[in-house]
Homo-oligomer: A and B are copies of this chain.
Amino acid sequence: MEADSPAGPVRQHEHNLALVMRLAAATGPSSRARLAEASGLTKSTITQLTGELIEGGLLREIGTGRVSGPGRPANLLVLNSLGPAAIGLQVEADHVAGCLIDLTGRVRDRALRKADDLRADPAKAVKAAEPVLRRLLNTASSTDNVVAGVAVGLPGRVSGQQDSATVSSAELGWQETGLSRLLGARLDGLGGGSIPVTAHNGNRLGALAEEWSGGAGGVPLVYVGGEFGLGAGVLNEGVPLRGNNGAAGEIGHVRVRARGERCACGRTGCLDTVAGQQAILTAAGTGSAAASRLVGGAGPLPGLLAAGDRAAIAAVRRAGKALGEVLGGLVPAVDPGLIVLGGRLAALGESLVGAVSAALTERSPALATDIVVRVSTMPPDVVARTAAATVTRELIGSPARWLAA
């Protein structure tokens, strides 16, 4: 709803189409009568609008679902699970994961491609993504789902919009990569028509996942995630902070040790060298279990923690303390009501939460008392799923664009 564009009857109509879609998405199967009541539009208008949406494949009529009661039974409408779908990808240094979701948000298929090392060369990532995309596109076409968009979540900064977006990632060793364009070209090759590709920071997606799941209740929140290095996503009024260079939430390279270890980024004492995945594993004495072999599993740490392994517990405490100090530093900017520890950290449980909370209170005593710190309960494929969800939410928010095409 661009505020700077004129409003004619067409805009009016678009707005109301979106309103109906949002309600249908939020409240599940609803009769036209209920949609009319909830939207404030009249029954006649709802008839008109839902007609268009059904025609365009966005809504679907399921039979009457009512148990009993007086009056003509309702003809329930739902988001059309056979309509437009979306593919979400998660690109990390050692794998590409993907999923296909339909308009309702249900996961219809998943795919994973491990790889030794995707760093430095974006072409490798595109190559690894190819079989994943092929499979998901196949699944989609088998159920006549049209893929409306592909969204990628990755550890790094995303600047610019849409096709012209560029990705820079210390973790992947990419600089100003036109990932959307590269993937878009590959999609063409797979017969995917010209599907729009968008890129997002993975940790911001994690934060959005918490918000959209309803678990956050709309409070400002900080989500800490990341597979190898640490990163955060910050939400204010449901909107992720992007920052001047798209670097908002990049906490991995804050200096936490005056004379610390050398980090992959070239500097010393970075948070990643203390609380990064590899750092924790090393400190726990399980250095041989290289972090890069962990795809799809939680690694040895949860087991060790549960068994009371002292080295493991100490390593997690140490990481939590450092992380808590950094989070304590950004708390006064954001005043979050909730801090969620996700990604690889989620499996570390209460030892980590306790250490983070303590360090938080130490630094920002005035604000920390009201903050809930907890681990994420999202499934491991949050990033890919939420990436895909950005596409479907966009579609639900602007159905007119889809109907026009």
Contact = CB atoms under 8 A, between A and B. Distances in A.
B255 A363 contact: yes
Contacts of A16: 6-7
Interface string A209-249: 00000000001101000000000101011010111111111
Contacts of A254: 329, 332, 363-364, 366
Interface string A320-355: 000000101110111111100000000000000000
A254 B22 CA distance: 41
A243 B334 CA distance: 6
Interface residues on A, range: 35 or more
A135 to B, nearest CB: 36
Interface in A95-109: none
Contact of A222 (B40, B333, B367): B333
Contact of A241 (B265, B334, B366): B334
Contacts of A247: 332, 335, 366-367
Contacts of A19: 3-7
Contacts of A332: 232, 247-251, 254, 326, 329-330
A33 to B, nearest CB: 15
A26 to B, nearest CB: 10
A290 interface: no
Contact of A40 (B3, B6, B330, B335): B6
Nearest to A244: B337
A11 interface: yes
A371 B249 CA distance: 15
Interface string A40-84: 110001000000000000000000000000000000000000000
Q: What 3 pairs between A and B have smallest CB-CB spacing? A: A329-B329, A243-B335, A244-B337
